[in-house]
Amino acid sequence: MPAPVIRLGLIGHGTVGSAFATALRQRADAIERSLGVRLHLARVAVRQPAKHRTRLHGVVVTDDALQIADEPSLDIIVEASGALGASHWLQRGLDRGATVVTANKFAVAAEPALLTALADGEPRLQIEAAVAAAVPIVRALRESLAGEEILSIRGVLNGTTTCVLSHVERGATFADGLALAQQHGYAEENADLDLSGADAAAKLALLCTLAWRRPVSLRDVRSGGITSAIESHVREAARIGQRVRLVASAHIDQTVHAAVRPTALEASDPLATASDALNVVELRTALAGPLVWSGGGAGGTRTASALLGDVIAAARALAGTRTTRVAA
């Protein structure tokens, strides 16, 4: 008897979306063996379908993302577009009962209803890929540390600025470091979102929302970024053994205090190990003490890993309810 099928819609097939589609194709048999359900990518939305059809054989490709969000036969919507309308698509998917999985920090961090859902622990909203890509910090906060009191958060969360700063440290120019980050696909379509600190601020807002179970929006984070004027500071810091990184930090008293700013770190600081696209997150907790995670925080495959993990978690939750639907 064929395995029950869980149908996926994907919005975005660029650096992240195409890496996700490839990983899903490669892992589908192994996932079916372990979960007992088949994950089937049924539809993809992009801006220019003609560019993508040859790589998406057997998949319906459209330019209408809202239609994917609304399509009742799709159980899970994976959003990897970075588009302005993404919050609306995610909300529409949730409203009709689908699970939504997103890599898009801005879509959640700037949308009060989605932040509230996240703070309330809505299991159909999955955002592992939106913060530090492959580093499993979202699931750690949601599940492993659910009984903890989180005292503070610090992180180096933006691959583009870390790539720029670590290359400047080694003698490259700011412009060359940025070109490299763009070449690797770490940079946002609009790199100003990385350089201004907005990208790290959105990720920090999501971590604060998860840690303190109250909506903390992008607007609640004070953010500062980097420009080419930082080159001499980075080299001077390197000369005395320090590393400049764009550090996101937050703590709570009556309110949440959250900020992103370039900071000179001692070499012994765990955050100073962040280089290129490596992200580092440090939590101080009441029971477990300090905890540190580090790993690939940007790039197609790193982010696809997190999306796939969220999709499998969603599929596992759906699997018990699915017995008869079979792939077309």
- 303 belongs to the binding site for ligand NAP (CB under 6 A): yes
Q: How far apart are CA 248 and CA 286, in angstroms?
A: 20
Q: How far apart are CA 199 and CA 112, in angstroms?
A: 17
- 161 belongs to the binding site for ligand NAP (CB under 6 A): no
- 55 belongs to the binding site for ligand NAP (CB under 6 A): no
| Contact characters 96-135, ligand NAP, x per CB under 6 A | -------xx------------------------x---x--
Q: Enter the DSSP assignment of 249.
A: E
Exactly one of 11, 21, 125, 304 binds ligand NAP (CB under 6 A); which one?
Answer: 11
- 186 belongs to the binding site for ligand NAP (CB under 6 A): yes
Q: How far apart are CA 155 and CA 270, in angstroms?
A: 9
- 9 belongs to the binding site for ligand NAP (CB under 6 A): no
Is 105 part of the annotated catalytic residue set?
no
Catalytic residue among 7, 203, 245, 302: 203
Q: How far apart are CA 98 and CA 11, in angstroms?
A: 14
Burial of residue 141 (CB within 10 Å: 0-12, 13-18, 19+) is buried
Shortest distance in whole angstroms from residue 309 CB to ligand NAP: 14
- 54 belongs to the binding site for ligand NAP (CB under 6 A): no
- The CA radius of gyration of the chain, in Å to the nearest whole number, is 20
Q: How far apart are the first and last CA of the chain?
A: 15
Write out the two tokens for 162: 């870390």
Number of residues that bind ligand NAP (CB under 6 A): 29
Q: How far apart are CA 65 and CA 45, in angstroms?
A: 5
The tokens 């699970």 sit on which residue?
Answer: 99
- 65 belongs to the binding site for ligand NAP (CB under 6 A): yes
The residue whose Cβ lies closest to ligand NAP is 14
Exactly one of 51, 53, 96, 219 binds ligand NAP (CB under 6 A); which one?
Answer: 51
Residues that bind ligand NAP (CB under 6 A): 11-17, 45-48, 51, 65, 80-83, 85, 103-104, 129, 133, 185-186, 188-189, 298-299, 303
